[in-house]
Amino acid sequence: MSPNPPSALQLPSEPSTDPPPSPPTSSHLEPPSLHQRCASHPRMHLRNREHTTQQSAPAADQGTLVRRLLTGATIFGGTVVAINLVFNRETREDGGMPAFERSYLNQTFLHTGLGIGIIGLTARQMINTGFVYRLMVTNPWAVAIGGMALSFGTMIGTRSIDPDNYVPKYALWTAFNATQAAFIAPLLTFAPPALIARAGLYTIAMMGSISFVGATAKQEKYMYIGGPLLAGAALVAVSGFAPLILPATAVRTLAFTENIWLYGGLAVFGGFTLYDVQKILHHSRLAERGIIKKDPINESISLELDFLNIFIRMVQILMMQQNRRK
């Protein structure tokens, strides 16, 4: 026996049938690229989600804008159809509006639309040429006082000219519209175009519906409201000067006066629209009898001022609502 026997029986090893391991390729040896590491980072996933949300937000806003514009257009279209049915129907229960009154009212509305168009185009031209910026950087008090003087001067001059003198009357009327454009151009500079379109549609719908009531009401039914409306207009004007008089710490008082300026102004100038339409029909009856001359330009000035005061407040209210959503 051998003095040192083996601890285990050793058998001859069999050759392995497994395939040899493949050598490491370059993809296993190279580290991940910078783009791959950034894409897998949690912050990049969050940023991608934010980017997707930002891309979907304008689409949602655009859909909301389209719905609002369609709503305003529907209101405006219904108002136009209602007014057309009233003005163009020859037979009504009260005998129908006389042809002279209908013609006089239509001519007044035509001049009102032309005046609003001149104001809008002139205001846009002032904004594009930088004239509004030059007005804003100059002395605001001088611009305000000078603008009011020009506005009242051109309005009084237009009203005083005989309607048979077409050239000077239309020239001063155009100058009056230009002064009104200078007043509203600074506000339109800060308002988005879509908001301006909505405010215009709402103003037309409001004035159209009120004009419908005034045109179909009994003769001189609302002529008595002229005095109360003047008192309301004075109150609204005083509330507009409140921020210049009251201290900034009087927050509640300033908010109250702002509501009077906005919503009280809407009510007052809506009432003025009703009163002015009745006054136009009253003047048409006087002109038909030869007591006064037919003058649709003078009549349109009152409706233009009603439109501008309502439109300005509509723009301000819509801008406040937009700022609250942000």
What pLDDT does 160 receive? 94
What pLDDT does 90 receive? 42
The CA distance from 36 to 27, in Å, is 13
18 Rama sector, left if φ>0, alpha if ψ -120 to 50, beta otherwise: beta
Residue 94 to residues 85, 185, 216, Cα–Cα distance (Å): 14, 44, 9
Q: Mean pLDDT of successive 10-residue segments in the chain (326 residues)?
A: 44 48 47 49 48 50 60 59 49 64 93 96 92 79 83 94 93 96 90 92 92 82 82 87 76 84 92 93 92 94 96 93 78
Q: How many CA atoms lie within 13 A of 85 on its CB side?
A: 8
The CA distance from 19 to 294, in Å, is 110
Percent helix, percent strand, percent coil in the chain, to nearest 5 = 80, 0, 20
What pLDDT does 77 receive? 60
What pLDDT does 174 receive? 96
Cα–Cα nearest to 303, from 115, 55, 24: 115
The CA distance from 285 to 240, in Å, is 37
pTM score, two decimals?
0.71
What pLDDT does 225 receive? 82
- The token duo for 211 is 């004009």
Cα–Cα nearest to 111, from 312, 293, 280: 280
What pLDDT does 220 receive? 74
Q: Which residues contact 293 (CB under 8 A, 6 or more apart)?
A: 162, 163, 164, 287
Distance of alpha carbon 217 from its chain centroid, rounded? Answer: 30
Residue 7 to residues 98, 118, 247, Cα–Cα distance (Å): 132, 115, 106
Q: Label residue 117 exposed, middle or buried (CB < 10 Å: 0-12, 13-18, 19+).
A: exposed
Three-state DSSP string of 146-205: HHHHHHHHHHHHHHHCCCCCHHHHHHHHHHHHHHHHHHHHHHHHHCCHHHHHHHHHHHHH
Alpha-carbon radius of gyration of the chain: 36
pLDDT in tens, 228-282: 888 888 888 888 887 777 777 777 888 888 889 999 999 999 999 999 999 999 9
pLDDT in tens, 275-288: 999 999 999 999 99
